[in-house]
C-alpha cells in the first residue's frame, strides 16, 4: 500500500492546565484505509480526535494537520466538515424529537434557489443515504424511537450526506450488541470500497483484528507505534497499550470467609417512566459483610439503574419489590435515607453528578454528613478542616491544599475525593459504580488497595464495572446483568471472562 496519506497529523502537542494531554503525537492515515487508534483510557485518543475535528481549534495546540496535501487550520467543527471530515461521537448529535430525514439534513438543509427548504428533495436524498447504509426505517420516524444501532446508522447517513471523505468514529460499537456491531463493521468495509477513509477508536481488539488496515497506538499522550495490517497481533497491541506486563494489578486479599447478609434485594423491579421500559427486572442480590460483590454487564444492562434504585435515587422510576438492609426491610425513597442507613454510592459520572467540581476538596468531602462538622446548624470550620485533612491523608489524595477546587485535580484524585466523600458518612455498604473509569493505572491500583482496606474494616462493597479483569480480580462473587435481567451468579473461582460475556449477551 503506497497510496498517499489522506491525513497527516504532525507533532501534535496539546496542553491542558497542569497536564500535557498530547506530546508530539503523529498520526498518518492513507487514502481508503480503515485506521484504528487504540490506547488505554486517558491515552489522549479523544483529544487527538477533537483536534482533528476542530473542537480544539487551531492555535490551542502546536503541530500541524495536513489533509489532502494541504496544511489546514480548523477553527471549529464547521471547517473540518467543509473539508469532508465528519466525526461521530459516542454521544450522538441527533435530535430525538425530529424525524430521520430532518436529522440527516440538519445544518445543511437542501434548499431551492429562494432559500426555502425543499422537503421533497430532502426526503428523496434521505432515502438514498439510508439505502447506502442499509437502514430500513421509515424516514418519517422520530429518531428518538429508534434503537441505538439504528441511530448510529442515521448518524452515518448524515455523514454521507455531508460528502464525507474521512469518517471518524469514537467507540462506535461500545453501545451496540453483537449483531449491530457486526453490521456496523460490514458497513465500514462497504464504505471503504466506496473510497471513504475511516478512523476508529475502539477498545475491542477483536474488531481491530477483523477490519483494521493499520493502527496507531497511543499511551500517556505519546505515539507508541504505528502497525500495518500484517503486523497486527493482539498480544503486541496489549503490550504496547499498557507498556508493562499486566500481572498483579489487583492487590491480594484473603479469601472471603462468609458473614451475615447486609444488603439484599428481593424481586426488585424498576420501571423508567421517561424511557418507558423496565430497567431493573426481578433483581435478587445479596451482599454479605466484608464481601466484594461484582455486577458485570454491558452498557445498558441496567447496572447503574440497579444501583440507583437501591440507593433511592429513583425519582423517575416506579419501583416495586423490596430492599433489606441487615435483615430489615427498608423503604428507600431518597439518597438521604440510604445514607442514614449506612449506604454510600460512588457515581460512575464523577464530573456530572459525583462531585461539585466548582467547590473545593474540603466542601466536597464533607457534603454527605454536614451534621458531623456542625453544631445546631452552624458549621464548625476548624472541625471541617481537621476532618478533611484526615481524609486527604487517609486516602492519599494529592492536592496542594484542602481548599483546592476539585476540577483542578487529576481524574484519579477526583475519584479519591468522591470515595472520601462517601466514606465521610461512615457507611457500611458502598456501591462503587465504575470507580476506576478514566483514571490511570497507578491510581487504579490505589483504588483497589482502598477497596481491600475497606473490606478489612468489615465494610461491604458492591462493585459495578465494565472491565471484566477488574471484576474478576477484585470480587468475591459476581452477578451478571443483561438488559435489566439478572442472568447469572458466579463465585469468582468459577467465573471466566468467556462465561461472563456469554451470560451478559443473552
Partner 1 sequence: MKKINPVQKYFLSIMSSFITRIRDYGMYIALAIIFFVFSITTEGRFLGPINFTNLLNQAAYVAVLAVGMTLVIVTRQIDLSVGFLGAFLGAFLVVNIENFGNNLGKIFITIFGPTTGQNIIQFFNDHSFWLIILIVLIAVVLTVAVGLLKGFLVSVANVPSFVVTLAMMFIFKGLLMYTTRNTTIPTSNAFFQSIGIGYLPTFKIGNYNGVALILGALLILLVIALSTIRYFKNIRNGVKVEDPSLFVTKLIFTIAILAFLTYTLAAFRGISYLLLITIFVVFVYHILTTKTVIGRKIYAVGSNPEAAELSGINVKQIITVVFISMGILSLFAGLMFVARTQNASPQHGVGWEMYAIASCYIGGTSANGGVGKVINSAIGAITIIGLTNGMALAGINANLEPIILGSVLVLSVIFDIYTRNVRPIDLVGMYYAKNKYRNEYLQAKKEYKEARKALKEAIEEGNTKKINVLEFELTKKQGEFNRFRELIRSAKEEDFLEVIK
Containing 311, the helix (H) or strand (E) segment is helix 303-311
| Nearest distance, CB of residue 142 and partner 1, angstroms | 22
Closest to partner 1 by CB, 265 or 313: 313
The C-alpha atoms of residue 43 and residue 219 are separated, in whole angstroms, by 5
| Nearest distance, CB of residue 360 and partner 1, angstroms | 11
| Nearest distance, CB of residue 137 and partner 1, angstroms | 32
Closest to partner 1 by CB, 260 or 349: 349
| Nearest distance, CB of residue 314 and partner 1, angstroms | 11
Closest to partner 1 by CB, 110 or 357: 357
CA angle centred on 385, ends 382 and 391, rounded to 5°: 145
Containing 418, the helix (H) or strand (E) segment is helix 411-424
Closest to partner 1 by CB, 95 or 403: 403
Closest to partner 1 by CB, 167 or 397: 397
Closest to partner 1 by CB, 227 or 406: 406
Closest to partner 1 by CB, 105 or 424: 424
Q: At residue 281, what are phi and psi to the nearest 5 degrees?
A: -125, 115
| Nearest distance, CB of residue 128 and partner 1, angstroms | 36
Q: Which residue has the cell 437542501?
A: 110
Burial of 410 by CB count in 10 Å (0-12 exposed, 13-18 middle, 19+ buried)? middle
The C-alpha atoms of residue 347 and residue 155 are separated, in whole angstroms, by 29
| Nearest distance, CB of residue 29 and partner 1, angstroms | 17
Which residues contribute to the site for partner 1 (CB under 8 A)? 10-11, 13, 62-64, 66, 69-71, 311, 313, 334-336, 338-340, 345, 347, 352-359, 363, 367-371, 374, 377-379, 421, 425
Q: 64-71 long-range contacts, Cβ below 8 Å, gap at least 24? A: 64/8, 64/9, 64/10, 64/11, 64/12, 65/7, 65/8, 65/9, 65/10, 65/12, 66/5, 66/7, 66/8, 66/9, 66/10, 67/6, 67/7, 67/8, 67/166, 68/6, 68/7, 68/165, 69/4
Closest to partner 1 by CB, 66 or 148: 66
* 3-state secondary structure labels for all residues of 424-445: HCCCCEEEEECCCCCCCHHHHH
Whether 330 and 487 have beta carbons less than 8 Å apart is answered as no
Closest to partner 1 by CB, 49 or 338: 338
| Nearest distance, CB of residue 345 and partner 1, angstroms | 6
CB proximity list for 435: less than 8 A, separation 6 or greater: 346, 415, 419, 447, 451, 463, 465
Q: Which residue has the cell 459516542?
A: 90
The C-alpha atoms of residue 106 and residue 159 are separated, in whole angstroms, by 11
| Nearest distance, CB of residue 356 and partner 1, angstroms | 5
295 beta partners: 464, 479
CB proximity list for 123: less than 8 A, separation 6 or greater: 101, 139
Closest to partner 1 by CB, 186 or 336: 336
Q: Helices (DSSP H) in 109-220: which residue ranges? A: 119-133, 148-161, 178-193, 205-211
| Nearest distance, CB of residue 113 and partner 1, angstroms | 35
| Nearest distance, CB of residue 10 and partner 1, angstroms | 6
| Nearest distance, CB of residue 226 and partner 1, angstroms | 19
Closest to partner 1 by CB, 28 or 334: 334
Closest to partner 1 by CB, 340 or 494: 340
- Nearest Cα to 91, choosing from 469, 281, 349, 436? 349
| Nearest distance, CB of residue 59 and partner 1, angstroms | 8
Classify 360 as helix, strand or coil: strand
464 beta partners: 295, 433
Classify 188 as helix, strand or coil: helix
> Of all residues in the chain, what percent are helix, strand and coil, respectively (each to 5)?
35, 30, 35
Amino acid at each position: 500500500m503506497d497510496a498517499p496519506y489522506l491525513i497527516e497529523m504532525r507533532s501534535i502537542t496539546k496542553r491542558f492546565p497542569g497536564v500535557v494531554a498530547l506530546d508530539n503525537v503523529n498520526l498518518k492515515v492513507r487514502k481508503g484505509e480503515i485506521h484504528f487508534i487504540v490506547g488505554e483510557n486517558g491515552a489522549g485518543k479523544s483529544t487527538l480526535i477533537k483536534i482533528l475535528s476542530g473542537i480544539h481549534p487551531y492555535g490551542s495546540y502546536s503541530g500541524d494537520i495536513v489533509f489532502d496535501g494541504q496544511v489546514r487550520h480548523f477553527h471549529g467543527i464547521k471547517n473540518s466538515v467543509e473539508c469532508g471530515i465528519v466525526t461521530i461521537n459516542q454521544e450522538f448529535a441527533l435530535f430525538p424529537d425530529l424525524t430521520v430525514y430532518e436529522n440527516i439534513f440538519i445544518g445543511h438543509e437542501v434548499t431551492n434557489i429562494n432559500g426555502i427548504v425543499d422537503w421533497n428533495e430532502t426526503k428523496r436524498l434521505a432515502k438514498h443515504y439510508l439505502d447506502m447504509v442499509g437502514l430500513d426505517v421509515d424516514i418519517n420516524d422520530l429518531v428518538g424511537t429508534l434503537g441505538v444501532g439504528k441511530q448510529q446508522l442515521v448518524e452515518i447517513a448524515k455523514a454521507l450526506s455531508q460528502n464525507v471523505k474521512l469518517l471518524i468514529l469514537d467507540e462506535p460499537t461500545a453501545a451496540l450488541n453483537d449483531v449491530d456491531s457486526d453490521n456496523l463493521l460490514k458497513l465500514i468495509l462497504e464504505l471503504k470500497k466506496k473510497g471513504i477513509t475511516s478512523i476508529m477508536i475502539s477498545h475491542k481488539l477483536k474488531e481491530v483484528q477483523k477490519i483494521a488496515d493499520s493502527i496507531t497506538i497511543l499511551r500517556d499522550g505519546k505515539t507508541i507505534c504505528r502497525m500495518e495490517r500484517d503486523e497486527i497481533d493482539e498480544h503486541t497491541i496489549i503490550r504496547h497499550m499498557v507498556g508493562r506486563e499486566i500481572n498483579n494489578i489487583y492487590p491480594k486479599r484473603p479469601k472471603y470467609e462468609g458473614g451475615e447478609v447486609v444488603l439484599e434485594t428481593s424481586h426488585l423491579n424498576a420501571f423508567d417512566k421517561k424511557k418507558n421500559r423496565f430497567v431493573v427486572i426481578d433483581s435478587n442480590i445479596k451482599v454479605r459483610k466484608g464481601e466484594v460483590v461484582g455486577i458485570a454487564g454491558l452498557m445498558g444492562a441496567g447496572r447503574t439503574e440497579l444501583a440507583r434504585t437501591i440507593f433511592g435515587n429513583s425519582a423517575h422510576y416506579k419501583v416495586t419489590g423490596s430492599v433489606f438492609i441487615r435483615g430489615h426491610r427498608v423503604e428507600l425513597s431518597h439518597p438521604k435515607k440510604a445514607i442514614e442507613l449506612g449506604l454510600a454510592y460512588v457515581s460512575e459520572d464523577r464530573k456530572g453528578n459525583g462531585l461539585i467540581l466548582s467547590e473545593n476538596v474540603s466542601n466536597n468531602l464533607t457534603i454527605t454528613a454536614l451534621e458531623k462538622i456542625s453544631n445546631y446548624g452552624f458549621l464548625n470550620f476548624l472541625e471541617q478542616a481537621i476532618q478533611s485533612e484526615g481524609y486527604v491523608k487517609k486516602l492519599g489524595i494529592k492536592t496542594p491544599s484542602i481548599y483546592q477546587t476539585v476540577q483542578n485535580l487529576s481524574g484519579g484524585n477526583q475519584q479519591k475525593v468522591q470515595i472520601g466523600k462517601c466514606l465521610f458518612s461512615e457507611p457500611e455498604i458502598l456501591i462503587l459504580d465504575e470507580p476506576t473509569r478514566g483514571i490511570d493505572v497507578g491510581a487504579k491500583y490505589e483504588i483497589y488497595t482502598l477497596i481491600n482496606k475497606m473490606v478489612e474494616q468489615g465494610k461491604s462493597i458492591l462493585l459495578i464495572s465494565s472491565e471484566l479483569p477488574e471484576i474478576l480480580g477484585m470480587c468475591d462473587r459476581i452477578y451478571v446483568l443483561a438488559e435489566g435481567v439478572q442472568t447469572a451468579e458466579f463465585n469468582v473461582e468459577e467465573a471466566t471472562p468467556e462465561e461472563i460475556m456469554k451470560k451478559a449477551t443473552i
